[in-house]
Amino acid sequence: MKKVVLGFSGGVDSAVCSVLLKRAGYEVYGLYMDNSDENALNDAVKTAEYVGIPLEVADVRAELERNVCSPFTECYLRGETPNPCVICNPSVKFRTLCDAADRLGAEFVATGHYARSENGMIFKGRPSNDQTYMLCRLTREQAARVIFPLGMYEKVQTRAMAEEFGLPVAHKGDSMEICFIPDKDYISWLGRRTALPGPGDFIFHGEVVGQHDGIYRYTVGQRRPGMIDGRKVYISHIDVASNTIELALWEELFKTEVIARNFNWLCDVPDRPVRASVRVRHTKWENPPCTAYVDGGIVHIICDEPVRAPAAGQSAVLYDGDRLLGGGFIVQE
């Protein structure tokens, strides 16, 4: 019987995964990654007992602080908008799973992500809940070991299976917040960790039009309250050096070129321009065709159709059809 170590969060998705994996003939080991959420841990213990799988608890707080929380803080201070899940998956979640699998002699690891895996490649899940964007920085070694039991399902189907299986967490709500900021108040969280920059100027077409409350409160593409000359305006650029935020009209937010750094390829690095499609944020709908080429340490992505407000710190993620090719961090021009 093949062994698999399953990331077991105490939520509906991982609980359903445990039953599906058992029914597929795997010997399943649950691994709960502890970051001080006692309720989630209790749910994980209760569900593991119900399903009949062993559960191990791994304290990942130090790794989370070093690899996710500190970079998350630094990103905001650079005027960028981080996506902590993109960083956490390879550096904490999948690393911890693979380490446990090595120790237990398991060939595979599994998570409740809505994605598909085949022969070391990762493919999009169902359009309504595809989560491959969050997996763009996995290593090729991690991708080669992973199983995604929910890849062919939609969330509504997962919840129906949880009911059918009689799982104790069948009616538990989805977790939408950042796991290390459960109250969703990232401003207060940042303020407890570091000195935050003060107010500065809003600039619109070269003129000061008001004051902002701190660059860390804003992201490129976000609408600024109020109107200018009867028109809505949006954040288009954050300048840390001058502590200013530039505003633009909606039609001025669109870019045809996106530049990404620290690109992580889940295929061989191309030595010539490649045709692909790109996502510049975690959305299922904006996925225009593009041409991408490597230039030293960066990747240039030329979009066939302009993309709205690519934000520094977010990821530009490339696809070949449904196949995930990789992703890099967007650079502010």
Same domain, 46 and 110: yes
Same domain, 220 and 280: no
Q: Compare 333 and 205 and report the one with higher pLDDT.
A: 205
What backbone phi and psi angles, to 5 degrees, belong to 235? -70, 125
Same domain, 139 and 227: no
Amino acid 176: pLDDT: 64
Could you tell me the pTM of the whole model?
A: 0.94
The string of pLDDT tens digits covering residues 219-236 is 999 999 888 999 999 999
Average pLDDT of the residues in 258-276: 97
Of 187, 222, 252, the position where a domain reaches its end is: 252
**Residue 186 maps to a domain:** no
Amino acid 38: pLDDT: 82
pLDDT(285) > 70 = no
Which residues are part of the catalytic machinery?
88, 179
Average pLDDT of the residues in 277-287: 84
Average pLDDT of the residues in 101-124: 97
Q: Which residues contact 173 (CB under 8 A, 6 or more apart)?
A: none
Amino acid 182: pLDDT: 79
The string of pLDDT tens digits covering residues 117-132 is 999 999 999 988 999 9
- The length of the chain in residues reads 333
Average pLDDT of the residues in 27-40: 89
The rounded distance, in Å, linking the Cα atoms of 134 and 84 is: 9
Same domain, 135 and 152: yes
- Structural domain boundaries, residue 209: 198-252
Same domain, 33 and 144: yes
Average pLDDT of the residues in 29-58: 92
Same domain, 8 and 111: yes
Same domain, 14 and 161: yes
**Residue 212 maps to a domain:** yes
Amino acid 180: pLDDT: 81
CATH of the domain at 228: 2.30.30.280
- The total domain count for the chain is 3
Amino acid 284: pLDDT: 63
pLDDT(245) > 90 = yes
Same domain, 262 and 292: yes
pLDDT(286) > 80 = no
Same domain, 16 and 143: yes
pLDDT(35) > 90 = no
Same domain, 46 and 130: yes
The rounded distance, in Å, linking the Cα atoms of 89 and 223 is: 30
The string of pLDDT tens digits covering residues 48-100 is 999 999 999 999 999 999 999 999 999 999 999 999 999 999 999 999 999 99
The string of pLDDT tens digits covering residues 157-206 is 999 999 999 999 988 888 766 888 878 888 999 999 999 999 999 999 99
Amino acid 183: pLDDT: 81
